[in-house]
Amino acid sequence: MNEQGRSFYDQARDVSRLLVLDLGFLGDTVHLIPALHEIRRAWPKAELHVMAEEKAKKILEVVPGIDVILGYPRFPKGPKWYEDFGRVKRLRTSGYDAVINLNGSDRSSILTGTSGAKWRLGRVPPKPAAFWKYCFTHTVDVGQGGRPVFIQRLDCLKAAGLPVSEDAGYAVEIPADVKAAVDVKLDGGHDYIHISPCTTQDLKELPMDELAKLVAALIADNDGPKVVISCAPNDREKGKVAELLSRLSEQPWKVFAGELTLLELAEVIGRAKRHFGGDSGALHLALMMNTATVSWFRDYEGKVEWLPPGDEHRVVFGQESPEGLQDLTADQLLAAYQSSLA
């Protein structure tokens, strides 16, 4: 921690307009939520704006206390540096008194530095660019890795002098219209098993043979809950779900092949007794919705940052390959599920 960082809250305590800037994808945005709760508590009267990746910003609608949500395009490809001139102008005319940036990426740091805010807090990245230190008035050097990302961000706020509560965590509010829509789609159902079979890459997924065995076993458990399967609205994932269904002798209770909005997916996961899935956005939504999980992960150095913490979660590791995770079986995942029930 550096001394400048510790003085940030004292010096910026009376700001009237505050921007939290984070351009990460869905998982990063979900892991930002506990920090947003603490920021709102620390500045109860300030106007709070948050800038997030365009496709992930929708999830911030479930976070109480945010006044304005701004999007930044990053998928499938972000803008060139010179295409941000108009965005910088809008930031400067917005009159922000302070900017908090716990991401540290080059682009988000440049936006922070050119925002015109008097107070600018940043977290030291693993390999800061030469210009990085000029983007901030205060910095915190909080170690990377070793614990979940949301805890790292809370540690950054503590290092900046904010009064972070001991029970900091997730508290979200799904809009009433989203709940009503999910009620219709699920016939009012709760306490089922939700399965998200796909991730963004083959190397992080279960091979189809093991996936089909897992799903078939969960469906065949007559004493267990019903099974709901969902995937994203792209051809790759819908094609994999179609192949999975073709291998099952008994079909799941509900299948949503790209039919759920992001907030509807969060509500579907929130109503589940268990969420099964790989290292994907759906797993982060399960963490946000306080739903117990059984997940499959590739074994890599930084995995602990994205694993959901707590005894209600189980994870089984495999070795990545072009054909999917190896040395990981449906039987191992079923055993992990049974141990979580016990």
Q: Do residue 69 and residue 7 come from a single domain?
A: yes
Which domain range does residue 287 map to?
176-341
Helices (H), the chain: 3-6, 8-12, 26-42, 85-93, 106-113, 149-159, 176-185, 208-220, 235-246, 262-270, 281-288, 330-341
161 in the Ramachandran plot: left (φ > 0), alpha (ψ -120 to 50) or beta?
A: left
Task: Answer yes or no: do 112 and 139 share one domain.
Answer: yes
Residue 281 counted as domain residue: yes
* 167 in any annotated domain: no
Q: Which residues are 123's β-sheet partners?
A: 140
65 and 21 assigned to the same domain: yes
**What pLDDT is stored for residue 8 in this prediction?**
96
Domain-embedded: residue 66: yes
Judge if 93 and 238 occupy the same domain: no
User: Does 52 reside within a domain?
Assistant: yes
High-pLDDT (> 70) share of the chain, %: 99
- 82 and 124 in a single domain? The answer is yes
- Cα 197 to Cα 276: distance, rounded to the nearest angstrom: 8
Taking the chain (342 residues) in runs of 10, the rounded mean pLDDT of each run is: 77 97 93 97 97 94 96 84 86 96 91 96 93 94 92 96 91 96 96 96 94 96 89 96 97 97 98 97 96 95 92 95 94 95 85
**148 located within any domain:** yes
Residues 194 and 276 occupy one common structural domain: yes
Does any domain span residue 164? no
pLDDT tens digits, residue range 284-294?
999 999 999 99
Report residue 213: phi and psi, to 5°: -65, -45
Reported pTM: 0.93
Instruction: For tokens 């936006």, name the residue.
Output: 111
Is residue 153 situated within a structural domain?
yes
Number of domains in the chain: 2
Any domain includes 137: yes
CATH code for the domain in which residue 102 is found: 3.40.50.2000
Query: CA-to-CA distance for 265 and 258, rounded, in angstroms?
Result: 10
Q: Is residue 8 domain-shared with residue 151, that is, in the same domain?
A: yes
